[in-house]
Amino acid sequence: MFEREKQEILNCALMLDRYGLIALSGGNVSVRVSADKFLITPSGMIYSEMVPSDVLLVDLDGNVVEGIRKPSLDTIAISHILKNMPDVNAVIHTHQPYATGIGLVTDRLDCDLTTLANAVKGHVNVAPYTSAACLDMGIAVVDNIGSQLAVILKNHGVVTVGKDLKEALYAAVYLEESAKTIFVAKAYGGEISKFSDEQIQTGIDVFKRYGQK
């Protein structure tokens, strides 16, 4: 079941790998496929070696419905996100180093770049530390993400969400690109040129017209 969606998850994971957002078997990718079930990548398998049948179908309580592998240890956290964010159909969890690094020293990554406004829809909050592989991680995401498509998990990584996998992927990739740019600005020194709320909103609105639709 859901062979096309499983392949899309693997394609997405390889893109995350290509852009340096995950390494080896870190993080996970999930897609909701029905009212009470979603697909999630397996625990501890290297993405480039995965095949579609390694992706698991699980219910919203985290029970495996189909698949021979052990699901990601974060399955219970991802379940909580999908249960409590009905407009979200895709969740990506990474350990992307630039955004995660900035989260070590701040509680919010300000939206001062067009790409961040485009793809993440505003400032990116940093959720207080919670352990991986437990429900608290999912609660931290739901409680701190706001109306944006990404949240940084302090001392851990990033979670991005979307109405589909593409939206969650864009949020993750452009968050990291923005974090790199901010890193350069901080290294160069001086004051960062700030965006107004209106400029952020313009960046959000512009992206609604982006692409071939």
Site string for Zn ion, 150-189 (x = CB under 5 A): -------x--------------------------------
Between 57 and 137, whose beta carbon lies closer to Zn ion? 137
Nearest distance in Å: CB 74, Zn ion: 6
**102 exposed, middle or buried (CB, 10 Å; 0-12, 13-18, 19+)?**
buried
Site for Zn ion contains 134 (CB under 5 A): no
Half-sphere exposure of 212 (CA within 13 A, CB side): 0
Contact region with Zn ion (CB under 5 A), list: 7-15, 46-54, 124-132, 205-213: 124-132
Among 65, 132, 135, 185, binds Zn ion (CB under 5 A): 132
Give the dihedral of Cα atoms 2, 75, 163, 150; nearest 10 deg: -150
Cα–Cα distance measured from residue 63 to residue 71, given in angstroms and rounded to the nearest whole number: 9
Site string for Zn ion, 94-113 (x = CB under 5 A): --------------------
What does the angle CA 74 – CA 141 – CA 198 come to, to the nearest 5 degrees? 145
Between 63 and 131, whose beta carbon lies closer to Zn ion? 131
Instruction: Quickly tell me which residue has 């512009």 as its tokens.
Output: 206
Between 32 and 156, whose beta carbon lies closer to Zn ion? 156
Nearest distance in Å: CB 26, Zn ion: 6
- The number of angstroms, rounded, from the C-alpha of 110 to the middle of its chain's C-alpha atoms is 17
Number of residues that bind Zn ion (CB under 5 A): 2
**Structure-block tokens of residue 195:** 């965006």
**Which positions touch Zn ion (CB under 5 A)?**
132, 157
